[in-house]
Amino acid sequence: MPRLSDSMEEGTILRWLKSDGDPVRRGEPLVEIETDKANMTYDADQDGEVEIIAQEGQTLAIGQPIARIRAPGEGSADPSGSGRGGITSGPAPSAVAQEPVTAPTPVRSDGRGTPEAKRIKASPIARRIAAERGVDLRALTGTGPGGRIVRADVEAAGASSAPAQEEEARAPAAPAAPAQVPGAGEVERAKGEVSSQELTRSQQVIARRMAESRATIPDFVLHAEIDMEECQSLREQLKQLGADQPPPSFNDMLVKASALALREFPRVNGSYRDGRFELHSRVNVGVAVATEDGLTVPVVLDADRKSLGEIARASRALAERVRTGVITPPELSGGTFTVSNLGMFGIKRFSAVINPPQAAILAVGAIEPRPAVRDGAIEARRLMEVTLACDHRILYGAEAARFLARTRELLEQPLALTL
């Protein structure tokens, strides 16, 4: 099992693209793997014949064997010929590779090994919910990109079968034992029916990393209000200049402004690790994107060196790849700072949780006309509130405040963003 992202600990075999014994060439797609961040196709690293060890649906830790590429005519390393055992001949990749392969988890035994199921285009969460609810994916019509079956399709199918389930629930049942204490069970009945929902791999990682952040990072927050009138004016000018291209969004301007400020304040772009500061030479800004499973943060690499137009195009492409489920782990890795914007939902101000090991995250609220004093007179101005959450182990109040002030200065005089 290859490591396909910096936070990956295990992966699930979604689909083999080659059969046992098939020839394969180096660089040819071999297998689809579900990681904590995305589904990714892994390519063969050498020429030969495929000997499959891990079956579809199995979840394995990093380093455990999933297949062997043998020389043509060499024969199987598994004496039983089942393809399930460990490698018994030839050099072992590593000590961990000789551990026994774990059995498939019940939640994933959804029939994907059959030829019919392999042709079904469905998201991993749709497959899992279908397996839990007994929904036949072959009977569904996908509404996702390219006809892909998504979570909503499975839930809608489950809702349509609810009457039959209710009829079954009305069947006579054995009388319940009397409660030991008067009023026992009232609390549970007050909540109504309770259903349990397993976390997706992405949600598990988010939960673990956010708990880690809150438990280990002593953070503090700084608030600022930014006048966005000049950004609005610049955006209108850029819109007129590039009629065939959408103008950069306010979020693109935030990414550019924070990237330029990060270059001036390297600790904000750094990390605290094991009692030392790590300062990064590249400025890679993550942009939080809401997804069906939670939150995904694709990364705009070298944002300080990209033009505003390049950032706008990169951000749009990354967000689209996230929403269509084709984002790759490399596009989600390497972030040194994060911008999280909830302004489109009308949120004025919020505090975001730092994404370890980053030193800070910028939470962005809505841009709204508000009364402001300008040249001694009160007038309506487009104002936006931002909140910078900082890791106090590497950032101190004054430096963080200077970084935030520099970001505000760049946005209030945005011509510098176009240079």
Active site (catalytic) residues: 392
Structure token pair of residue 279: 């300062």
Residues facing 222 on adjacent strands: 388
CA dihedral 14, 15, 20, 23 (to 10 degrees): -130
Burial class for 22, CB neighbours closer than 10 Å (0-12, 13-18, 19+): middle
> How many C-beta atoms surround the C-beta of residue 58 within 10 A?
20
Spatial separation of the C-alpha atoms in residues 417 and 409, rounded to whole Å: 11
Please tell me whether the peptide bond between 2 and the residue prior to it is cis, using omega within 30 degrees of 0. no
Based on its alpha-carbon atoms, the radius of gyration of the chain, rounded to whole angstroms, reads 26
Spatial separation of the C-alpha atoms in residues 303 and 283, rounded to whole Å: 6
Spatial separation of the C-alpha atoms in residues 261 and 304, rounded to whole Å: 9
Spatial separation of the C-alpha atoms in residues 341 and 229, rounded to whole Å: 18
CA nearest neighbour of 385 among 349, 410, 334, 335: 349
Spatial separation of the C-alpha atoms in residues 62 and 94, rounded to whole Å: 11
C-alpha distance from residue 385 to each of 81, 222, 256 (Å): 64, 11, 17
> Which secondary-structure segment (H or E) carries 341?
strand 337-341
Collapsing DSSP to helix, strand or coil, 67 comes out as strand
First to last CA, the chain: 45
Structure token pair of residue 345: 């939902």
Structure token pair of residue 276: 């030392």
Spatial separation of the C-alpha atoms in residues 102 and 60, rounded to whole Å: 7
Task: Evaluate whether 288 touches 338 at the Cβ level (below 8 Å).
Answer: yes
